[in-house]
């Protein structure tokens, strides 16, 4: 298997684990505070009535999930395009590492409500996607 595809596979696993961590954090705080807004969840997990408001951390994690789902799939598709165009293998490792770092840093900063770090982590991920896009366009246009 090509080095770039190995990096892609590891990146996908790392991002999956990052998303799974979101779920674990959200579930932990809901269980800890017994704050479930869905009636069936409240009945099953807390043996109580649903709460009117969700736990503050659970709400933050929902926002983190939404942001992840707006960015991670696009990055993975761009990385596939980059690899399929036989681009620089070390570039794959650099882009993937920076993006995974940016998403983890974004999550930590979001949970700690730490600006400007959250914004800077987000911007790093966007910059990686712009750079990948630039390399893809360059590769396509120079091969015509």
Which residue segment(s) compose the domain that 10 sits in?
A: 3-27+53-142
Residue 33 lies in a domain: no
In whole angstroms, what is the distance from residue 44 CA to residue 31 CA? Answer: 11
Q: How many domains does the chain have?
A: 1
pLDDT, residue 11, reads 99
> Using one digit for the tens of pLDDT, what is the confidence trace for 80-133?
999 999 889 999 999 999 999 999 999 999 999 999 999 999 999 999 999 999
Q: Residue 85 falls within a domain, yes or no?
A: yes
Q: Is 40 among the domain residues? A: no
Mean pLDDT of the chain: 94
Residue 45 lies in a domain: no
Contact 128, 75 (CB under 8 A): yes
What's the CATH code of the domain at 115?
Answer: 1.20.120.550
Hey, what long-range contacts does 137-141 have (CB within 8 A, 24 or more apart)?
139/82, 139/85, 139/87, 140/85
Asked if residue 21 is part of any domain, the answer here is yes
Tokens of 26: 């959200």
Helical (H) or strand (E) element with 144: none
pLDDT of residue 107: 98
């Amino acid at each position: 298997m090509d080095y770039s595809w190995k990096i892609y596979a590891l990146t996908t696993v790392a991002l999956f684990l990052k998303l799974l961590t979101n779920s674990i954090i959200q579930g932990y705080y809901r269980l800890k505070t017994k704050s479930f807004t869905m009636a069936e969840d409240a009945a099953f997990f807390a043996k109580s009535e649903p709460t009117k408001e969700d736990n503050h951390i659970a709400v933050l994690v929902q926002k983190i999930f939404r942001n992840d789902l707006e960015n991670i799939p696009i990055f993975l598709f761009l990385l596939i395009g980059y690899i399929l165009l036989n681009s620089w293998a070390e570039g794959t490792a650099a882009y993937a590492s920076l993006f995974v770092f940016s998403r983890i840093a974004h999550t930590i900063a979001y949970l700690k409500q730490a600006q400007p770090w959250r914004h800077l982590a987000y911007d790093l991920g966007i910059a990686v996607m712009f750079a990948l896009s630039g390399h893809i366009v360059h590769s396509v246009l120079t091969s015509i």
